[in-house]
Amino acid sequence: MILFGGSFDPIHYGHLTLLETLQSTYPHAELRLVPTPEPDYKSPILANRHHRLAMIRLALKDHPNMGVDTIEMDQTGPCWTYKTVRLLFEQNPGRPLFFAMGSDSYFAFHTWKNFQEIYPYTQILVLNRDAITPETYDRYYHKHLAFIPKSRFHFVTMPVTPVSSKDIRHHLTLKNSLAGLVPPAVEAYIKENRVYP
């Protein structure tokens, strides 16, 4: 099972491209999106939980091996990755667990709360979207993460996806079409429900 977290505000084709690449790399794995209630490292989330979950489910309707897990949304108080992976590990005994993160998150991993409690429960997939060299990853690893077995990290090359949720919200303020940026069902949902007024 591969966990892919984020705010998904809204989910878009960039996310889906990453998920499809992961699925082709790990064809027998179930992919679970784990939307966060309110990340403390980004700008505030604009769409409420109900809308973000609805958009995720619409985007994944044609992807049977992909689903959404509300484990973090269902919690009260701050959500921390080390607690999420530990709980999912306990709920899925004997099932291999993978946690996917972007290269930007990898280079800040040592600053995450109790990050040293994450790797005992999960393998870590680093999604390389920026053509970063193995030497760059190695330097960071040896400086900050050398106590973690290197075998816990797996680096997966991802296609460049020049689309972001922020860009999509900007298009909406300009009344532009979202064709090619989000699935049609997601665009229709956004407009029908005035998710981003």
* pLDDT score at 46: 86
pLDDT at 45 over 80: no
Which two three-digit tokens encode residue 174?
């300009």
* pLDDT score at 89: 95
Question: Which residue in 84, 96, 93, 69 sits closest to 152, CA to CA?
Answer: 96
Other beta carbons within 10 angstroms of residue 2's beta carbon come to: 23
* pLDDT score at 39: 53
- Separation CA 161–CA 13 (nearest Å): 8
Q: What percent of the chain has pLDDT over 70?
A: 96
* Helix/strand/coil for 128: strand
- Separation CA 151–CA 188 (nearest Å): 43
- Separation CA 114–CA 110 (nearest Å): 9
Is the model more confident about 160 or about 63?
63
Average predicted confidence (pLDDT) for the chain: 92
What amino acid occupies position 171?
Answer: H
pLDDT at 38 over 80: no
* pLDDT score at 43: 59
* pLDDT score at 42: 53
Question: Which residue in 20, 22, 48, 25 sits closest to 35, CA to CA?
Answer: 48
One CATH from 3.40.50.1970, 3.30.70.1450, 3.40.50.620, 1.50.10.100 for 2-193? 3.40.50.620
Cα separations (Å) of 27 from 34, 62, 75, 122? 19, 16, 30, 18
Q: 52 near 70, Cβ under 8 Å?
A: no
- Confidence band, pLDDT 50/70/90 cuts, at residue 129: confident
Query: Domain boundaries in the chain?
Result: 2-193
Residue given tokens 């860009």 in the structure block = 167
Q: 161 near 18, Cβ under 8 Å?
A: yes
Q: 56 near 26, Cβ under 8 Å?
A: no
Residue given tokens 């930007």 in the structure block = 104
Q: 89 near 122, Cβ under 8 Å?
A: yes
